[in-house]
Amino acid sequence: MIKRRFGIDIDGTVTCPSTFIPYLNKSFRKNLTLDDITDYDLVPFLDTTEEELNEWMERYEPIIYSEAPLANGALEVINSWKDEYELYYISARGRHLYEITEKWFQQQGVHYHHIELIGSHNKIEAVKKYNIDIFFEDKYDNACDIAEQCMIPVILFDTPYNRGPLPKGVIRVYNWHEAKQQVEKLLTTTS
């Protein structure tokens, strides 16, 4: 029997969406909370330039990714799927972060079948390449684009920065346990 394949974003989906905030607050002398971040673009919240933020990211990404806390319920739910489904992580992280990423998965005990770091937010090609059946995401436009262009269901993890109207095929959830319930619903209606 062919196993269904789940495509799973890492940052803000498997990791806690507020992971970056303490580092940003310290470096940019801010006092932001996750609720303050109402857009995926961080530049306006930090009073900085895109160039400065990119330089900051290059410097701090390896540290942040190696220390990132798991999202609530992620470990339990994802690992409950490891024998039944194929778990393909598709992330915008740069390929140079692969070792740090894989080590984090191993240290956290999060199961994976494949990790693809594409270095870009455009995940459409990877979703098609790996024949993903359901995708899990926190970035609003990614969720909408994947649902519309790949015609697969996308589970969108609610955050203050992704609260736009949802097209058909995008399902908003508030935690991993809700995501699991939605997957069960989707798979009973399509099997």
Q: Is it the case that residue 190 has pLDDT exceeding 70? A: no
Per-domain residue ranges for the chain? 5-16+70-190, 20-67
Q: Is it the case that residue 1 has pLDDT exceeding 80? A: no
What pLDDT shows up at residue 53? Answer: 96
pTM for the model? 0.96
Q: Is it the case that residue 191 has pLDDT exceeding 60? A: no
> What are the tens digits of pLDDT across the range 8-64?
999 999 999 999 999 999 999 999 999 999 999 999 999 999 999 999 999 999 999
Choosing from 11, 133, 138, 145, the catalytic residue is: 11
Q: Is 47 marked active-site?
A: no
Residues whose CB falls within 8 Å of the CB of residue 70, separated by 6 or more in sequence, listed in order: 14, 15, 16, 108, 110
Q: Is residue 147 classed exposed, middle or buried when 0-12, 13-18 and 19+ CB atoms within 10 A define those classes?
A: buried
Are residues 144 and 18 in contact, defined by beta-carbon separation less than 8 angstroms?
no
Class of the CATH domain delimited by 5-16+70-190:
alpha beta
Q: Is 35 marked active-site?
A: no
> What are the tens digits of pLDDT across the range 127-165?
999 999 999 999 999 999 999 999 999 999 999 999 999
Choosing from 9, 133, 138, 145, the catalytic residue is: 9
Are residues 152 and 146 in contact, defined by beta-carbon separation less than 8 angstroms?
yes
> What are the tens digits of pLDDT across the range 65-104?
999 999 999 999 999 999 999 999 999 999 999 999 999 9
What pLDDT shows up at residue 189? Answer: 76
